[in-house]
Structure 1
């Protein structure tokens, strides 16, 4: 049985579809789904954990769509995804033990920087460039940092993965999006595993929203693969800017 009545449930389904669409292209779907869950009556922990439930469906759908189209080699990324899972679970376990005030203060600045980078940097296309660091170093250093953050706080993790893949790994925008969704899925599962042991998620709501996420993610990934950087870059700029604004508003 759903943890909410019919009207909030319909609102959550619509929010999940929109979140899945946006998240599959540029990340930031939590901008839509998290406030919707709070409006439906979830407390912060329930909202974060239920968001992990439904978001895992969207991230998995997008990751599979990109993999089937050849934009990410799943076998080559299994080890990196496993690492993202472990560090995200570690972050989720430490949610109540680590002060995140400094991270929350710096997060809007980082997100605005990401928005400016994608808005102003010339030559950002779907073509790969020369990598600044090796894949092994990227997996050993960058992925654990972002995965841990995803489990500890969450918002903006997709944008951080994107900037890492583009700026450091040399991926084109579409390829970076594909790899981001695969790691997002892994770190979502890691955080969810911990929240599930604590009994925090609204499972029925999360599963219903997850079904809507699948539809939104399928549509979004198709749009991204058809149009590429021309739709990914503007949407990434918008979602990063809105997420920064929302975090600043929460602090005031």
Structure 2
């Protein structure tokens, strides 16, 4: 019971972080590994997806009610992100993702520095493309980061947010809302694969799903109330934490 309470609380916090800017796995995955050290990693990753997909979906619905999104462009991109995630998961069965462990903290550091130097980045919503061009660019982002999510994973939400801000001209609030839609697709793809292999503890995942949705509700409401500036600040904090975590894993562990 104590173990279930701990991971449920971790899922609550993860849902909050994920709803604002992504990166909930930074909270929930280490908690699962700490509480269940003897479990197979695939089972813990699958259980994480079994919980987080519900919070992400709920957050997407809440954002959709308050933030104007170009569904005609973004729904095809979400479908492409799902396919990219499948492709990444298939590729990782053929080649190792170890080379990304050392590259990832450096890539994230570059993203953080760029964001800090560009004080105006993501503060104003000014889409650069319309119509088919927006669909093509969004789909390219969806497939690329979807593939990365299936292949490796850490920082997926942050990469989605950054690229939607940098390439499509979204503000951080719209980028975060769009990232949730993309993440629903990639999470469904990953969860399907884990479930087919029997790597989901559904009795634990369902309890964590309830608290993840609650955290998502709180995070979404706070992001909508405080706007793009708040989301940008959370983005900087989450990317900074990801740099420390991935840097530790790559160079010090």
- Please give the TM-score of this superposition, normalised by the length of structure 2: 0.92
Note the alpha carbon deviations across 1:79-114, whole angstroms, 9 max, x for none.
Answer: 111111111122223333221122222111111222
Instruction: Return 5+ residue gaps in structure 2 as ranges.
Output: none
- Distance across 1 between alignment mates of 2:207 and 2:94: 31
Aligned to 1:36: 31
- Distance across 1 between alignment mates of 2:212 and 2:10: 9
Task: Tell me the CA shift for residue 126 of structure 1.
Answer: 4.2
Q: CA RMSD in A?
A: 1.7
- Distance across 2 between alignment mates of 1:125 and 1:142: 17
Aligned to 1:162: 161
- Distance across 2 between alignment mates of 1:132 and 1:120: 24
When residues 35 and 235 of structure 1 are mapped into structure 2, their CA distance, relative to the original with a 3 A threshold, is same
- Distance across 2 between alignment mates of 1:78 and 1:21: 24
- Distance across 2 between alignment mates of 1:137 and 1:98: 28
Whether the 8 Å contact between 2:76 and 2:135 is mirrored in structure 1 is: no
Aligned to 2:15: 20
SS in 1 for 2:95: coil
- Distance across 2 between alignment mates of 1:67 and 1:73: 10
When residues 217 and 92 of structure 1 are mapped into structure 2, their CA distance, relative to the original with a 3 A threshold, is same
- Distance across 2 between alignment mates of 1:65 and 1:81: 17
- Distance across 2 between alignment mates of 1:178 and 1:24: 8
- Distance across 2 between alignment mates of 1:10 and 1:190: 28
Q: 1:91 aligns with which of 76, 88, 93?
A: 88
Q: 1:66 aligns with which of 63, 68, 79?
A: 63
Note the alpha carbon deviations across 1:104-129, whole angstroms, 9 max, x for none.
Answer: 22111111222223333121354223
Alignment of 1:94-133 (within 5 A): 94-129=91-126, 131=128
Deviating 4+ runs (over 3 angstroms): 73-76
Task: Tell me the CA shift for residue 43 of structure 1.
Answer: 2.7
Task: Tell me the CA shift for residue 132 of structure 1.
Answer: 7.1
- Distance across 1 between alignment mates of 2:135 and 2:73: 11
Note the alpha carbon deviations across 1:20-51, whole angstroms, 9 max, x for none.
Answer: 00111111111110011101213321121111
Range 90-99 or range 10-19, more displaced:
90-99
Aligned to 1:56: 53
When residues 96 and 125 of structure 1 are mapped into structure 2, their CA distance, relative to the original with a 3 A threshold, is closer
Aligned to 1:177: 176
- Please give the TM-score of this superposition, normalised by the length of structure 1: 0.92
The answer on 1:198 being equivalent to 2:197 is yes
